[in-house]
């Protein structure tokens, strides 16, 4: 189980119009994410089969800010935009499955991984074990 709290802010120049400045020079994204994962593996001689399933849920919230602009004398623009942004807050749930196969050759391992969910991702890697006194090497 894991938790992540992200606060991403983008700054830009305040917009000047014929009615004055808008008073908006930042947009802020707040993301709270929880993730749970279950994994398992089984070795068969030089081979290892692995599988994993993950689910995460993320709450996305947005807010504009900056020093109040002259347009605020006519129209409470920041309040209107932040109210509208509050109405579009959303929660997303993602499910990700992974399947992997690894083959051991002495201190080297060749591993393939297939991840699937909203997208499919596949990769292959070559790994080298620098030193591991606790794991005996598999003999032919």
State what percent of residues in the chain have pLDDT above 70. 94
| 117 within some domain | yes
Number of domains within the chain: 1
Given a cut of 80, is residue 139 above it in pLDDT?
no
| 12 Rama sector, left if φ>0, alpha if ψ -120 to 50, beta otherwise | beta
Q: 23: which 2 tokens?
A: 């008073």
Q: Grade residue 138 by pLDDT with cuts at 50, 70 and 90.
A: low
Mean pLDDT of the chain: 90
Whole-structure pTM value: 0.64
Domain that holds residue 79: 2-128
| 135 within some domain | no
Q: Grade residue 124 by pLDDT with cuts at 50, 70 and 90.
A: very high
Query: Do 21 and 14 form a contact (C-beta atoms < 8 A)?
Result: yes
| 47 within some domain | yes
| 101 within some domain | yes
pLDDT in tens, 46-99: 999 999 999 999 999 999 988 888 888 888 888 999 999 999 898 999 999 999
Given a cut of 70, is residue 132 above it in pLDDT?
no
């Amino acid at each position: 189980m894991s938790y992540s709290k992200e606060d991403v802010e983008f700054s830009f120049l305040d917009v000047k119009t014929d009615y004055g400045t808008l008073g908006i020079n930042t947009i802020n994204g707040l993301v709270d994410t929880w993730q749970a994962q279950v994994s398992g593996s089984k070795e068969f001689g030089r081979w290892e089969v692995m599988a994993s399933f993950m689910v995460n849920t993320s709450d996305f919230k947005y807010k504009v800010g900056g020093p109040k602009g002259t347009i605020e004398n006519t129209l409470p623009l920041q309040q209107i935009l932040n109210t509208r942004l509050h109405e579009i807050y959303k929660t997303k749930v993602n499910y990700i499955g992974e399947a992997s196969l690894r083959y051991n050759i002495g201190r080297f391992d060749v591993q393939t991984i297939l991840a699937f969910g909203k997208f499919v991702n596949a990769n292959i890697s070559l790994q080298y074990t620098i030193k591991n006194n606790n794991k005996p090497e598999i003999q032919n």
